[in-house]
Amino acid sequence: MTRYNQPLGGNEMPRFGGPVTMMRLPAQATAEGLDACFVGIPMDIGTSNRPGTRLGPRQIRDESRMLRPYNMATGAAPFERMQVADIGDVPINTFDLKKSVEIIAEHYREILSHGSVPLTLGGDHTLTWPILRAMKERHGPVALVHVDAHADINEAMFGEAEAHGTPFRRAWEEGCLLNDRVFQIGLRGTGYAPEDFDWGRAQGWTVVQAEELWYRSAAPLMERVRATVGDAPVYLSFDIDSLDPAFAPGTGTVEPGGLSTWQALEIVRGCAGLNLVGCDLVEVSPPYDPSGNTALIAANLLYEMLCVLP
Amino acid sequence: MTRYNQPLGGNEMPRFGGPVTMMRLPAQATAEGLDACFVGIPMDIGTSNRPGTRLGPRQIRDESRMLRPYNMATGAAPFERMQVADIGDVPINTFDLKKSVEIIAEHYREILSHGSVPLTLGGDHTLTWPILRAMKERHGPVALVHVDAHADINEAMFGEAEAHGTPFRRAWEEGCLLNDRVFQIGLRGTGYAPEDFDWGRAQGWTVVQAEELWYRSAAPLMERVRATVGDAPVYLSFDIDSLDPAFAPGTGTVEPGGLSTWQALEIVRGCAGLNLVGCDLVEVSPPYDPSGNTALIAANLLYEMLCVLP
Amino acid sequence: MTRYNQPLGGNEMPRFGGPVTMMRLPAQATAEGLDACFVGIPMDIGTSNRPGTRLGPRQIRDESRMLRPYNMATGAAPFERMQVADIGDVPINTFDLKKSVEIIAEHYREILSHGSVPLTLGGDHTLTWPILRAMKERHGPVALVHVDAHADINEAMFGEAEAHGTPFRRAWEEGCLLNDRVFQIGLRGTGYAPEDFDWGRAQGWTVVQAEELWYRSAAPLMERVRATVGDAPVYLSFDIDSLDPAFAPGTGTVEPGGLSTWQALEIVRGCAGLNLVGCDLVEVSPPYDPSGNTALIAANLLYEMLCVLP
Amino acid sequence: MTRYNQPLGGNEMPRFGGPVTMMRLPAQATAEGLDACFVGIPMDIGTSNRPGTRLGPRQIRDESRMLRPYNMATGAAPFERMQVADIGDVPINTFDLKKSVEIIAEHYREILSHGSVPLTLGGDHTLTWPILRAMKERHGPVALVHVDAHADINEAMFGEAEAHGTPFRRAWEEGCLLNDRVFQIGLRGTGYAPEDFDWGRAQGWTVVQAEELWYRSAAPLMERVRATVGDAPVYLSFDIDSLDPAFAPGTGTVEPGGLSTWQALEIVRGCAGLNLVGCDLVEVSPPYDPSGNTALIAANLLYEMLCVLP
Amino acid sequence: MTRYNQPLGGNEMPRFGGPVTMMRLPAQATAEGLDACFVGIPMDIGTSNRPGTRLGPRQIRDESRMLRPYNMATGAAPFERMQVADIGDVPINTFDLKKSVEIIAEHYREILSHGSVPLTLGGDHTLTWPILRAMKERHGPVALVHVDAHADINEAMFGEAEAHGTPFRRAWEEGCLLNDRVFQIGLRGTGYAPEDFDWGRAQGWTVVQAEELWYRSAAPLMERVRATVGDAPVYLSFDIDSLDPAFAPGTGTVEPGGLSTWQALEIVRGCAGLNLVGCDLVEVSPPYDPSGNTALIAANLLYEMLCVLP
Amino acid sequence: MTRYNQPLGGNEMPRFGGPVTMMRLPAQATAEGLDACFVGIPMDIGTSNRPGTRLGPRQIRDESRMLRPYNMATGAAPFERMQVADIGDVPINTFDLKKSVEIIAEHYREILSHGSVPLTLGGDHTLTWPILRAMKERHGPVALVHVDAHADINEAMFGEAEAHGTPFRRAWEEGCLLNDRVFQIGLRGTGYAPEDFDWGRAQGWTVVQAEELWYRSAAPLMERVRATVGDAPVYLSFDIDSLDPAFAPGTGTVEPGGLSTWQALEIVRGCAGLNLVGCDLVEVSPPYDPSGNTALIAANLLYEMLCVLP
């Protein structure tokens, strides 16, 4: 028997029963004593098209019930070496996005004060901005692996600084990022100007448009990522809409021509060896995939993130 | 041929084609020259449970395509006596609820300046507050027929003054209501205190809990409403969740034991003779009824509202 | 053991297995030797709003799998006194509505030549017109119990004589109906002229608008129907959209304020004693009720029709 | 501040966040110290038509998130007078129904040993049989209020003694019931023999077929129930398929012509004053109502059961 | 500011509000003055399996709301060089397919008389036949890029010349096509004879079965297309069922093993440089993808077509 | 005219009508006289996560209605050389999994006694165990091509020997398999121990994890399979969850990162030349894909299996 928390197994309680925590792990109120923690941010008031990501954390937890402890592809055994639990949700103010941004930042300051690595269940992408702010306060500027259909570097949306299309602009403004170690992967679709994706490039970021990855493995890209990032602290932000809607229909700002789950798995697995200080999986919108499969895939990716934590 | 706008008929364009305006009426940019106008408020950032009402106006318009000009139950012929059009949506700021409240108020001041009666396609119930503010500025305090599962008179929600559970408290505070001519119909469910529904009663309002209407016609109640309201200007706010979820599954804060469509039709038809200065139909959440039937019922109720305008 | 066909029971084959025939009865190619037969007409090219009724017969048969032989409300035991089977579908021409009308008429002439009473699984309401034509050829003009949200007596739709909104006008023109014994029950909604429902009244028909039945039993009405119809041959045409969408969401031309299943059951059961020569259940559109419940209710109503055959 | 557990309020955590326990109450491992407990039985291997009730407890808990502490219709305030928690799920053996029956019985013996009243989230109706066995061991034979579309008194199904159509036959055989104080309410549909519902009557039970309740309040019936049951220990078993599918589409063995939520609420509220020793709400099948509304109604009915506990 | 129509931006009106025109462009009644126009054909009476494409234009327009003006992959800026608008729907006769074919032909003659390039939102594939007829009258025989799971070259279906499986046979018969410049891409599945796909080859057409494209870029194929077609006028007909159902579930005649959105984008983008005189996107059936994603992908492909217009 | 049964064609009966048998083939009660037979096993009581496969056979048959007789990719013409029919469902005991296993074994002994090759429509994967037992009794140990996300070689699940995660362990124990000719293709996901997939390897089986096939054709693998298997009798067991959920969302134990339909078709087509003695397609769960597409793909794969029978 291990000394670490274990996911509740299917031979003790049917998969469709038991607690609705991430991987049916024990719940606890804070990150105290945890090497890593799953934490939900039930928010969609930063979305600009379809809503529903407020229900993302609930459905991701629900559909995580099938996950067993060992990674059959990589051999990873996270529950043999880390103490992990589900610390519940951030009590955002759903009627005020600006206040929610502050609430999130404060919540993550507290999590980080325990030396725990947060794995976030989103929630819309606005949330990455206050997390990065807290990350910087703890770790200084961080490298970034940002997987997404969109660059999310708008100056503003509808005149507002904080929205799900602006987090990386805000983080950049506040010096949260190591600009020579930022990767944006999977960008595509339409824009307000032909140079939308070049803004990041101008800051020194590496932008990998989706087209560059079509029909091929993402493993070589991840080698490049690892070589560039080195041992800098790095944050992984994974927007489920980076995937083609065939693979992840349950999201709000869909762009065809995206990544496959094969590539998504390679990208997360390719972060092994990096000095990950935090990860998020955002933009799962349950009403747009009642089968639960998008959330189930998200749960798998969060598990894969856990597997590659240092 | 009539001199008024007419809904596009099914013998000119199949019902599943043609413009996606309310009842396939002509669109115009402002309320100028209109006796009544349909206007959408695509908003859900004031909701506290399930989202999706931001898509309500689109789906209501879509499903209104079956509506023909004459009312077979009442004989009403609104397009023989009024100029009606669809004036589109209010450009709310979806990232800031407080600003949206201001935008709505300003938009309705403009509509009312044309002497047009607005029939609003919601959107979450927060929107009734700025509309009532604009109404008061134009007409002075108004009588109110409020059909809903919830009283929506919270002092605050999560500390916020503006949310979909507070509009009538705000309206009351600002003196928008004729307190002796306010009816709340269909209230039910659970509350934060046993006296939740008594706050309105203490202001002189008439509160009719859903249980009082079970198994019976709402016509006698509407007689009482008409007798009480008299010729005062009156606003009709109809939350689709007043209906039992059997009749209107597509909404976000569901309470079983509600009204039937039979009663809903009687309530709106029972407003004939009142001096209606505005009406809204709120809280239709398309993702929770992909069949479109909830929106279709909403479209019918909006049509019935048009039929009883003075 | 009975000498009649019996539905396959749940103790011989799980309800979710076995043949997909109506009530899991034996299939046969023609109506020969049958007192009554179930027959499908997979058609939706006569619909004017939402499609999908082409799949109605398949889903009604599928969801009929739960039906057991005895009627617990009325004590009816149809399989103790009649030979019943499922004779499959009419091979309509889905690319030509006019030809399909002819195909249907010919098919029913053949069925009726066996002295069998057809119980039709629709399909859109256009189909009742050719059936009534065949009925008249066999039985002379018939009485009619027509349960529907719509009168379906348009002179034409989009200039066409044959569509799902015209069958009873066509039948009337050809003298298929005993005009003093025609009942239209459940009509409501909007129309192209205030007198739409009065056309039938002018022919001597009895039109019972939905509003007349709200909150009350349909049994007294059916007494009146039986007294009026007497022993004339009578055809029962039941459009599932007569039901309120709460009770039957899976249909294409939805009108709120309709009948309940309580009333629907009373109406069909109230036909006991009539000289029924044929029945249909039309306008079930599976894509608008993926749960299958609308089809399941339709299957039950078809079973109730079987129970009241003379 | 109260000394009892309270549901997590919407002003502390948005309704769409927080723990997925019943009413967002605290979870605990056993019933120790609890006046009443919510407990789930995630099982559908006893179902005979559509599956899915194994997911019922998860969805009921999820959709219970809107429930506030006070009952606005009855004034009940259960959290002011009882210690209540969610004690999780029974670890049934999903591959062996017979063993699961034993597991359930043993689990409830343990719950009852704490003097706690179990409120069960089903799960298919097979589960009531082992619960009644445990009840009898604790309380002796009990009175029964059984609300259902089906009598569930089959001698066997497919040759098996234990299935979702047999629990009350088994309970009767083992002397678990006070036969003169058994009520079966809402029965309807089709049967294998015309006398299916008379078996209970022959044992002295009162059988109220659905038809007897159409269009009317269930309150008079409940007066009769209370007068008959007196102060005997009584068990309430509520099958969600007692409701008409309009009101509860998400279930597996649907029968049209059922109860309304108005009647359902009256039936549960009408148990106030009875000496309730346990309650269950069974047969919610989430895949057949992706909106979650059936589960939400179930959650409300479970809350109403809590409100009427002695 | 540009002198051309622009799509309504997300900073002026939330994406989920505003007019339901293609890309939220201005609507106008005819193609007068337009370089290109979006036009809908709401038709499904030519379909042979699942219906629903009649609702395709409405859902494509609805889901096109996210599209911004610039193409991030190709740099195309169609609204900087062309006047584009949405000219609404063709008023087909939904009760008569043959008449609808005539109506469509006449409608396109009118569009083409303005020198405008029509981009058609289908609607079932029957519609391409009358469009090609109008194209021939204007431009003489045209080259064809036909992307589809099916060859659609049946002599007849159920004895009918006009149906969604026959348009290219009809067009060939009438000499609408430049047979040495016809490409059929993506064909697969089952047939009525082993040589079904060889008929086209016998006419000189190039048939590329889906299998030839598996796991690889479609770019080389499009080079070949461009080399072959040269500067002939060319029509692009894109059936969404060319895509594998993983990528486009919302269609009626599904064949597994199809194209990916990666290939679809390459195919349309690979038409840059061709002398496109018209394009269509057909067979989107909303009831089979309630998420809207299939329509959203269709909207993107229509936008990509606009981008490659000469 | 051929002497073999033919699927009912679309020119005789619309695709959405006609009998709900596999490919609309004739039904018959036993396998007598058949070279191959389609047979359903409506079972889900062996599933460990989401249920619903009990409805798989019904939906696969329903969605098989589009299949025409000839294979356009391979030229196969199965109905020109084999007598094929649909022999209905196995009457499993849905309340007792162990008895159902016996019922299935006995049923397949009977099928095999006619020298017919069974093509099984599942149902959960438990069913392959009794089929393999019957296969061994007829043919001796068989080679195996097992396509799946999971190895299904658990010693037990929840202490039970028979469940959908154990069939190949049971078959191995009983000597049903030629261990040097067993291929497991598509395995992936998480496990209870890092060596879960190595158990098969230790028996001499070839295990091809999904990752090995990403981005590439499965044809080379199938060459290897054919070379290894030679002319041994071989059984093909295809679990639809081998496919990535993008391609087959309607199943119960979903693992991202799976096969594509391109590969699935190659795998089945790559069995041409093998001495196939039986095939199954399991784990289609209709409630998780209401579009029917997963079942439609399953129907296609079953047809492809028919095409490669010796």
Within 8 A of B189 by CB-CB distance, chain D residues are: 68, 72, 300
Please state which architecture CATH assigns to domain C22-307: 3-Layer(aba) Sandwich (3.40)
Which three-class secondary structure string do you get for F175-198? CCEEEEEEEEEEECCEECCCCCCH
Chains contacting C (3+ CB pairs below 8 angstroms): B, D, E, F
User: What confidence tens digit (pLDDT) does each residue in C207-249 have?
Assistant: 999 999 999 999 999 999 999 999 999 999 999 999 999 999 9
Report CB contact under 8 Å: B49, D15.
yes
Which phi-psi region, left, alpha or beta, contains residue D227 (left: φ > 0; alpha: ψ -120 to 50)? Answer: alpha
- Percent of chain C predicted with pLDDT > 70: 99
Q: Which residue is listed with tokens 């109220």?
A: D208
pLDDT of residue F1: 47
> Are F140 and F101 within 8 A, CB to CB?
no
DSSP one-letter string for E126-170: GGHHHHHHHHHHHHSSEEEEEE-SS----S-BTTBS-STT-HHHH
Among E44, E148, E184, E190, the strongest candidate for a mutation testing the F interface, having the largest count of F CBs within 10 A, is E190
Distance from CA of C74 to the nearest CA of D (A): 9
pLDDT of residue D69: 97
Nearest Cα to Cα of residue B46 among B275, B252, B225: B252
Residue E9, Cβ density class (10 Å: 0-12 exposed, 13-18 middle, ≥19 buried): middle
Confidence bin at D41 (pLDDT 50/70/90): very high
pLDDT of residue E106: 98
Cα(A26)–Cα(A8) distance, integer angstroms: 8
Distance from CA of D298 to the nearest CA of B (A): 9
Among A43, A93, A94, the strongest candidate for a mutation testing the B interface, having the largest count of B CBs within 10 A, is A94
Top-level CATH class of E52-71+117-307?
Answer: alpha beta
pLDDT, mean over chain B:
97
- Residue D21 in this model has a pLDDT that exceeds 60: yes
pLDDT, mean over chain C:
97
Closest chain D CA to residue A53 = D16
DSSP one-letter string for A55-121: GHHHHHHHHGGG--SEETTT---GGGT--EEEEEE----TT-HHHHHHHHHHHHHHHHHTTPEEEEE
Six-digit token string for C21: 């025939």
Report CB contact under 8 Å: C247, D249.
no
Six-digit token string for C150: 């719509």
Between A194 and D301, the higher pLDDT residue: D301
- Residue E223 in this model has a pLDDT that exceeds 80: yes
Mean per-residue pLDDT, A112-125: 98
Report CB contact under 8 Å: B49, D16.
yes
Residue C215, Cβ density class (10 Å: 0-12 exposed, 13-18 middle, ≥19 buried): middle
User: What confidence tens digit (pLDDT) does each residue in F176-211 have?
Assistant: 999 999 999 999 999 998 888 999 999 999 999 999
User: What confidence tens digit (pLDDT) does each residue in F266-297 have?
Assistant: 999 999 999 999 999 999 999 999 999 999 99
User: What confidence tens digit (pLDDT) does each residue in F31-80 have?
Assistant: 999 999 999 999 999 999 999 999 999 999 999 999 999 999 999 999 99
The gap between the terminal CA atoms of chain E, to the nearest Å, is: 23
Q: Which residue is listed with tokens 């597409």?
A: F293
Distance from CA of D47 to the nearest CA of F (A): 8
User: What confidence tens digit (pLDDT) does each residue in C39-58 have?
Assistant: 999 999 999 999 999 999 99
- Residue B229 in this model has a pLDDT that exceeds 90: yes
Cα(A126)–Cα(A140) distance, integer angstroms: 20
> What are the two backbone dihedrals, phi and then psi, of residue A143, each rounded to the nearest 5 degrees?
-70, 160
CA torsion sign for D4, D5, D7, D8 is positive
- Residue E14 in this model has a pLDDT that exceeds 80: yes
pLDDT of residue A2: 57
- Residue E261 in this model has a pLDDT that exceeds 90: yes
Distance from CA of A163 to the nearest CA of B (A): 7
> Are D250 and D289 within 8 A, CB to CB?
yes
Peptide bond into B292 cis (omega under 30): no
Alpha helices in B114-197 (DSSP H): 128-139, 167-173
F203 Cβ neighbours under 8 A, 6+ residues apart: F172, F179, F182
Distance from CA of B260 to the nearest CA of A (A): 26
* Residue E152 marked in a binding site: yes
Distance from CA of B278 to the nearest CA of D (A): 30
User: What confidence tens digit (pLDDT) does each residue in A260-284 have?
Assistant: 999 999 999 999 999 999 999 999 9
Cα(D131)–Cα(D141) distance, integer angstroms: 12
Confidence bin at E196 (pLDDT 50/70/90): confident
Report CB contact under 8 Å: A188, E73.
yes
Mean per-residue pLDDT, B35-46: 98
Cα(A66)–Cα(F164) distance, integer angstroms: 14
- Residue D259 in this model has a pLDDT that exceeds 70: yes
Cα(E105)–Cα(E90) distance, integer angstroms: 10
pLDDT of residue E170: 98
- Residue B1 in this model has a pLDDT that exceeds 60: no
Beta bridge partners of E253: none
Within 8 A of C157 by CB-CB distance, chain B residues are: 10-11
User: What confidence tens digit (pLDDT) does each residue in F110-164 have?
Assistant: 999 999 999 999 999 999 999 999 999 999 999 999 999 999 999 999 999 999 9
Cα(C142)–Cα(C147) distance, integer angstroms: 16
Q: How would you list the strands of the sheet with D233-239, edge to edge?
A: D84-89, D36-41, D117-122, D275-282, D233-239, D142-147, D177-187, D206-209
pLDDT of residue E195: 84
> Are A186 and A150 within 8 A, CB to CB?
no
Within 8 A of F264 by CB-CB distance, chain E residues are: 256
Q: Half-sphere exposure of residue C129, counting CA atoms within 13 Å on the CB side?
A: 28
Mean per-residue pLDDT, C112-137: 98
DSSP secondary structure code for residue C186 in this structure: E
pLDDT of residue B78: 98
Cα F226 to Cα F136, F177, F219, F221, F273: the distances in Å are 20, 16, 11, 9, 8
Nearest to F93 among D54, D95, D160 (CB): D160
pLDDT of residue F196: 86
Neighbours of C219 (CB within 10 A): 13
Among A247, A293, A300, A305, the strongest candidate for a mutation testing the F interface, having the largest count of F CBs within 10 A, is A293
Report CB contact under 8 Å: F91, C20.
no
Cα(D238)–Cα(E111) distance, integer angstroms: 63
Among the ranges given (A263-267, B83-87, C2-6, C250-254), the one the predictor scored with the smallest mean pLDDT: C2-6
E121 Cβ neighbours under 8 A, 6+ residues apart: E22, E38, E39, E40, E41, E56, E57, E60, E61, E280, E281, E298, E302
CA C92 from chain center: how many Å? 18
Give the residue numbers in E contacting F (CB under 8 Å), as ranges: 48-50, 157-159, 187-194, 196-197, 209, 211, 214-215, 244-246, 249-250, 253-258, 288-289
Report CB contact under 8 Å: B255, D300.
yes
Closest chain A CA to residue D20 = A20
Distance from CA of B100 to the nearest CA of D (A): 21
User: What confidence tens digit (pLDDT) does each residue in E74-115 have?
Assistant: 999 999 999 999 999 999 999 999 999 999 999 999 999 999
Give the relative orientation of helices D56-63 and A56-63 as an angle to the nearest 10 degrees: 160
User: What confidence tens digit (pLDDT) does each residue in A73-91 have?
Assistant: 999 999 999 999 999 999 9
Six-digit token string for E266: 């390459």
What is the DSSP pairing of strand F190-191 with strand C36-41? unpaired
Mean per-residue pLDDT, E166-194: 97
- Percent of chain C predicted with pLDDT > 90: 98
Cα(A140)–Cα(A132) distance, integer angstroms: 10
Return the CATH superfamily for domain A22-42+50-307: Ureohydrolase domain (3.40.800.10)
- Residue E1 in this model has a pLDDT that exceeds 60: no
Beta bridge partners of C41: C122
Nearest to E15 among A49, A189, A249 (CB): A49
- Residue C2 in this model has a pLDDT that exceeds 70: no
- Residue B80 in this model has a pLDDT that exceeds 80: yes
Confidence bin at B195 (pLDDT 50/70/90): confident
Distance from CA of C44 to the nearest CA of E (A): 8
Element (H, E) at D244: none
Confidence bin at D242 (pLDDT 50/70/90): very high
Within 8 A of A95 by CB-CB distance, chain B residues are: 45-46, 97, 157-158, 160, 162-163
pLDDT of residue A196: 86
* Residue C239 marked in a binding site: yes
Report CB contact under 8 Å: D158, F94.
yes
Within 8 A of E187 by CB-CB distance, chain F residues are: 72
D107 Cβ neighbours under 8 A, 6+ residues apart: D39, D90
Within 8 A of C40 by CB-CB distance, chain F residues are: 17
Neighbours of F167 (CB within 10 A): 29
Nearest to E215 among F217, F291, F300 (CB): F217
Neighbours of D270 (CB within 10 A): 22
The number of C-beta contacts closer than 8 angstroms across A and F is 96
Beta bridge partners of C205: none
> Are F257 and A262 within 8 A, CB to CB?
yes
Neighbours of E77 (CB within 10 A): 15
Cα D243 to Cα D255, D267, E52, F139: the distances in Å are 9, 12, 32, 53
Confidence bin at C196 (pLDDT 50/70/90): confident
> Are A305 and A285 within 8 A, CB to CB?
no
Nearest to B188 among D73, D244, D291 (CB): D73
Residue C107, Cβ density class (10 Å: 0-12 exposed, 13-18 middle, ≥19 buried): buried
pLDDT of residue D2: 58
Q: Which residue is listed with tokens 């959920």?
A: F245
CA A17 from chain center: how many Å? 26
Within 8 A of B187 by CB-CB distance, chain D residues are: 72
SS3 percent helix, strand, coil of chain A, rounded to 5, is 35, 20, 45
Mean per-residue pLDDT, E194-213: 95
**For chain D, domain boundaries:** 22-307
Long-range Cβ pairs for the range B191-194 (8 Å, 24+): B191/D68, B191/D69, B191/D70, B191/D72, B192/D9, B192/D68, B192/D69, B192/D70, B193/D70, B194/D70, B194/D71, B194/D72, B194/D75, B194/D77
Report CB contact under 8 Å: A49, E247.
no
Closest chain A CA to residue E243 = A246
Q: What angle do CA C41, C42, C43 make, to 5 degrees?
A: 100
Report CB contact under 8 Å: F69, E190.
yes
User: What confidence tens digit (pLDDT) does each residue in D156-201 have?
Assistant: 999 999 999 999 999 999 999 999 999 999 999 999 988 889 999 9
> What are the two backbone dihedrals, phi and then psi, of residue F180, each rounded to the nearest 5 degrees?
-85, 0
Nearest to D246 among C75, C247, C303 (CB): C247
Nearest Cα to Cα of residue F57 among F43, F47, F71, F78: F43
Element (H, E) at D293: helix D293-307
pLDDT, mean over chain E:
97
